[in-house]
C-alpha cells in the first residue's frame, strides 16, 4: 500500500517548550492509526501539524503529495484532501445539520445547492442521521452533533481523516455512537489518524498504534501491542486505565 502521510524527524516548539522532538511515522492508504499518550505528550500537536494548523521548525511532513513543511504550501489544496474533526463540534447554531454540511461544498468547491444537498444527505445517512437533516444543533445531542461534524468533513470527500479526541467530551453512550461511525469508516477503507483515549477502540480498529511520550514516538505496533507493551512507560499508561 502506498504511503499517504509521512512525518520525518518533526520538531515543534512553543517558545522554550519542546512539544515534538523528532517525531517520525508513516500512514499507508486505508490504514487506521491511533495516536495515544498522556496529556502533553504532543499527540494533538502532531495532528494539527499534519493539517498545517501549526508550523514545524524542523523535519518534513508529506500528506497526499503535499509538502506540508514547505513555506509555499497551498493550504487550501491540502485541506481539500485532509479533513479534521475536533473535540468541539464547531457547528453553526443558526444552520440546520444539512445546511452545516452543505456550506463547504458550496463555498469551497462551488457546487450548486442541489448537488451539495445530495452530498449532505448522503453523508448524514453514512453517520446514521438521515432523519435529523432539518434539526438545528441545539436540538441534537452531543453525540449527534459530533456525527454531523464528521459528516461535514466527509462532504469534502477527503483522502485522509484526522480525529482529535472527538469523544472526550461525550458520555459513554454517546461515545459509542461516534465510535461506531468511525469504525464503519475504517471498514470502508478511509485512511484515518485519530488521537484518542479509547484504548478498547484503538485495540480493535487500529492497524497501527503510535504511543507518544515526552514529545517522542515511544512505541509503535499493531493494536495488540496494548496487551503486551514493551516499554515501562506504555505499560504504566495502559495500566492506568486511561
Of 12, 42, 43, residue with least CA distance to 195: 43
**Structure confidence by residue, pLDDT tens digits, 91-133:** 999 999 999 999 999 988 888 999 999 999 999 999 999 999 9
How far is it, in rounded angstroms, from Cα 146 to Cα 133?
14
Q: What percent of the chain has pLDDT over 90?
A: 78
Pairing verdict, β 17-28 and 66-67: unpaired
Domain coordinates of the chain in residue numbers?
3-91+159-239
Band the pLDDT of 241: cuts 50, 70, 90. Answer: low
Q: What is the torsional sign of CA 43, 184, 122, 174?
A: negative
Please give the model's pTM, rounded to 2 decimal places. Answer: 0.91
**Structure confidence by residue, pLDDT tens digits, 46-82:** 999 999 999 999 999 999 999 999 999 999 999 899 9
H or E stretch including 18?
strand 17-28
Q: Which fold has domain 3-91+159-239?
A: Rossmann fold (3.40.50)
**What pLDDT does 242 receive?**
45
Pull the grid cell for residue 125.
Answer: 445517512
Bridge partners (DSSP) of residue 28 are 3
H or E stretch including 67?
strand 66-67
How far is it, in rounded angstroms, from Cα 93 to Cα 76?
25
Of 206, 207, 198, 193, residue with least CA distance to 23: 193
If you average pLDDT over every residue of the chain, what do you get? 92
In sequence order, the 6+-apart residues with CB closer than 8 A to the CB of 40 are none
H or E stretch including 115?
helix 113-126
Contact 34, 22 (CB under 8 A): no
Span 1-25, mean pLDDT?
Answer: 95
Does residue 187 register a pLDDT over 50? Answer: yes
Span 216-235, mean pLDDT?
Answer: 93
Of 162, 223, 167, residue with least CA distance to 193: 162
How far is it, in rounded angstroms, from Cα 14 to Cα 7?
19
**Structure confidence by residue, pLDDT tens digits, 47-57:** 999 999 999 99
CA 95 to chain centre: 24
SS3 74: coil
Amino acid at each position: 500500500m502506498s504511503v499517504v502521510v509521512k512525518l520525518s524527524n518533526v520538531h515543534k516548539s512553543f517558545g522554550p517548550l519542546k512539544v515534538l522532538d523528532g517525531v517520525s511515522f508513516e500512514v499507508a492508504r486505508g490504514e487506521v492509526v491511533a495516536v495515544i499518550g498522556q496529556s502533553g505528550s504532543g499527540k494533538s500537536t502532531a495532528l494539527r501539524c499534519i493539517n498545517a494548523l501549526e508550523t514545524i521548525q524542523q523535519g518534513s511532513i508529506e500528506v497526499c503529495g503535499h509538502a506540508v513543511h514547505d513555506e509555499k504550501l497551498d493550504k487550501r489544496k491540502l485541506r481539500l484532501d485532509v479533513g479534521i474533526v475536533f473535540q468541539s463540534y464547531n457547528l453553526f447554531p443558526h444552520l440546520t445539520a444539512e445546511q452545516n454540511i452543505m456550506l463547504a461544498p458550496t463555498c469551497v468547491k462551488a457546487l450548486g445547492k442541489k448537488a451539495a444537498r445530495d452530498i449532505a444527505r448522503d453523508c448524514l445517512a453514512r453517520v446514521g442521521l438521515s432523519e435529523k437533516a432539518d434539526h438545528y444543533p441545539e436540538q441534537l445531542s452531543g453525540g449527534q452533533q459530533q456525527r454531523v461534524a464528521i459528516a461535514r468533513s466527509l462532504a469534502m470527500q477527503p483522502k485522509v481523516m484526522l480525529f482529535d479526541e472527538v469523544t472526550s467530551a461525550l458520555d459513554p453512550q454517546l461515545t459509542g455512537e461516534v465510535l461506531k461511525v468511525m469504525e464503519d469508516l475504517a471498514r470502508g477503507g478511509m485512511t484515518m489518524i485519530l488521537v484518542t483515549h479509547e484504548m478498547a477502540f484503538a485495540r480493535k480498529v487500529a492497524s497501527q498504534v503510535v504511543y507518544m511520550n515526552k514529545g517522542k514516538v515511544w512505541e509503535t505496533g499493531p493494536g495488540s501491542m496494548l496487551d503486551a507493551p514493551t516499554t515501562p512507560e506504555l505499560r504504566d499508561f495502559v495500566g492506568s486505565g486511561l
